[in-house]
Amino acid sequence: MKLNKIVQAVLVSCSILALASCAANRSADGNGMDEATIADANGAQSSGLGQDSNFGGKGNMHASNNNRTYYFDFDKSDVRSEDKPAILANGDYLAANPNKKIVLEGHTDPRGSREYNVALAERRANSVYEVLKSKGVSPDQVRVVSYGAERLAVPGHSDEDYQQDRRAIIVIAQK
**Is there a domain that residue 62 lies in?**
yes
Picking from 17, 50, 45, 67, the residue whose alpha carbon sits closest to that of residue 149 is 45
pLDDT greater at residue 144 or residue 17? 144
pLDDT band for position 173 (cuts 50, 70, 90)? confident
Tens of pLDDT along 151-160?
Answer: 999 989 999 9
Classified as helix, coil or strand, 151 is coil
Predicted confidence at residue 43, as pLDDT, reads: 44
Predicted confidence at residue 57, as pLDDT, reads: 35
Number of domains forming the structure of the chain:
1
Domain that holds residue 157: 24-172
**Is there a domain that residue 4 lies in?**
no
**Is there a domain that residue 37 lies in?**
yes
Handedness of CA 53, 98, 89, 81 (dihedral sign): negative
**Is there a domain that residue 93 lies in?**
yes
Picking from 67, 47, 53, the residue whose alpha carbon sits closest to that of residue 123 is 47
Tens of pLDDT along 80-94?
Answer: 999 999 999 999 999
**Is there a domain that residue 10 lies in?**
no
**Is there a domain that residue 107 lies in?**
yes
Classified as helix, coil or strand, 80 is coil
Mean pLDDT of the chain: 75
Handedness of CA 46, 37, 21, 162 (dihedral sign): negative
pTM of the model: 0.66
**Is there a domain that residue 17 lies in?**
no
Determine the average pLDDT of the residues in 87-112.
96
**Is there a domain that residue 127 lies in?**
yes
CATH code, domain with 57: 3.30.1330.60
